Structure 1
Amino acid sequence: MAEMHICDRCGKPTPNFVPFTCGPIAGKLGRSWCDDCEKRFERELAWENEQWHQDEITCPWCGYVDTDSWEFEGEYDDKYECPRCGKPFILERVVDITYTSKRRIEDMPEGWDGE
């Protein structure tokens, strides 16, 4: 009989054990996930289909790109609906603000020649 471990996610007994390739981490030699938790993790990973930092809102279901994305005013919306396929998805708006500053020429000292 195979050595039994405890699933790190749900606590059920499992024969599954995957050692960490880089050695122990925080005193643990590897991870143990039961078959159900492994399938759930793979399903969640495939389900997410995150469209990471796109310039326009991109539907993770059908790939539709909303060219009017600039009109979206919310910070975060968990019920955004695709205008093409109608399926809901989670939308997060990421805004980057930068500033540029420079001296005014009229404030430079009298006789300044650019050096």
Structure 2
Amino acid sequence: MSEMYTCDKCGKPTTNYSKYISGPIGDREGYSVCDDCIKQRGRERSWENEQWHKDEITCPWCGFVDTDSWEFEGEYDDEYECPSCGKPFILERVVDITYTSKRRIEDMPEGWDGE
């Protein structure tokens, strides 16, 4: 009989075990997830139909692309409604900000020649 482990998600006994690829994390060598939890996560991922990091709001139900997405001002909305099919979905706005800095030439030491 195979060695039994405990599912890290629901606590049920399982024979499933996977070692971490990059070695132990903390005091653990790997993790266990039972078949039921694997199947449930697969259903959730299929159901979500997540439209990952699109440039415009895209409905996960009908695929409608809102070309006026730039007008959306909220950061997170769990009751956003598709303007095309009318179905609600979760909307998360992701904003990336970067900065560039450089020295001012007038602040360089007297006689500085670029090295």
TM-score by length of 2: 0.71
How far is the alpha carbon of 1:32 from its aligned partner?
Answer: 0.7
Aligned to 1:23, what secondary structure does the other structure show? coil
| Post-superposition offset of 1:54 | 2.3
Partner residue in 1 for 2:34:
34
Show structure 1 runs of 5+ residues with no match: 100-115
In the alignment, structure 1 residue 69 sits paired with structure 2 residue 54: no
Q: Which residue of 2 aligns with 1:19?
A: 19
Are 1:86 and 2:69 counterparts?
A: no
TM-superposed CA distance for 1:97, in Å, is 6.1
| 1:95–1:28 distance in 2 versus 1, CA, 3 Å | closer
Sort the Cα spacing of 1:5 and 1:62 in 2 relative to 1 into closer, same or farther, 3 A.
same
CA distance 1:91–1:17, shift in 2 (3 Å): same
Letter in 2 for 1:11: G
Q: Using the aligned pairs only, state the percent identity.
A: 73
Report the number of matched residues: 100
C-alpha distance in structure 2 between counterparts of 1:23 and 1:55, whole Å: 37
Taking structure 1 as reference, are residues 98 and 39 closer, same or farther at Cα in structure 2, changes over 3 Å only?
closer
Offset at residue 39 of structure 1 (A):
0.9
Distance, in Å, in 1 between the alignment partners of 2:27 and 2:92 is: 36
TM-score (norm 1): 0.71
Give the alignment's Cα RMSD to 1 decimal: 2.4
Distance 1:50 1:14 in 2: 29
C-alpha displacement of 1:2 = 1.6
